[in-house]
Structure 1
């Protein structure tokens, strides 16, 4: 009996230790591990970019470099990004979510630049 406990107890400890090691790796695969969440700095940066986007649209409209229709369309896109940010931020932003939001903000900035340069005062 003594030999059996000498063999079984270390085996059980090894199995239990291996089981706890697998959890962080599995959590990482789904992008929800603590290291995958956005830091407060990254979170505030994306929020500032979204707010800056709204400010840039308002400024372009006030300077009459884009039309009301163009501004409305760009604002609608910015609102969608804001809603997506709020949805993602409930559980903390992952790196993937941060990249997605940043890509959408960048796309709207490119569209705003194109609208300012076209000088035709209509969308597209």
Structure 2
């Protein structure tokens, strides 16, 4: 009996220790595992489209600044707006983009594009 205890006790301790060391995903219930989000093709297309729009916006700002259509100060302000959109996109994209988040991002991109258009046409070198 004593030898059996010497063998089983350490094995039991190891087994219990392994259970505590399992990753959090192993402890999830079946409902939690099925509730995890996997993006579909349309979500990935929306995300790709938004990334492309943000990249294009930054390129437009750079091009306008390089051609001296907007001032350095105007370009900095527009770049700051584009970075804010990029950060918001990154925040939204963690869990996949919803239709509402896509609309919000597109609206913000359009707003900055309009501001770029206005800055190019005002020729005063100042923001706004």
TM-score normalized by the length of structure 2: 0.67
* Residue of 85, 88, 94 corresponding to 1:81: 85
Residues 49-68 of structure 1: pairs in structure 2 closer than 5 A: 49-68=53-72
The answer to whether the 8 Å contact 1:57/1:74 transfers is: yes
Structure number with greater Rg is 2
Name the count of aligned residue pairs: 93
Distance 1:37-1:99 versus aligned 2 partners, 3 A rule: farther
The answer to whether the 8 Å contact 1:38/1:92 transfers is: no
Aligned residue in 1 for 2:31: none
Aligned residue in 1 for 2:110: 106
Deviation per residue, 1:75-102 (Å, 9 max, x gap):
0000000000000000000000000000
* Pair 1:72 & 2:68 matched: no
- Unpaired runs of 5+ in structure 1? 1-32
**2:126 aligned counterpart, secondary structure:** coil
Runs (4 or more) in structure 1 with deviation over 6 Å come to 33-37
The answer to whether the 8 Å contact 1:38/1:98 transfers is: no
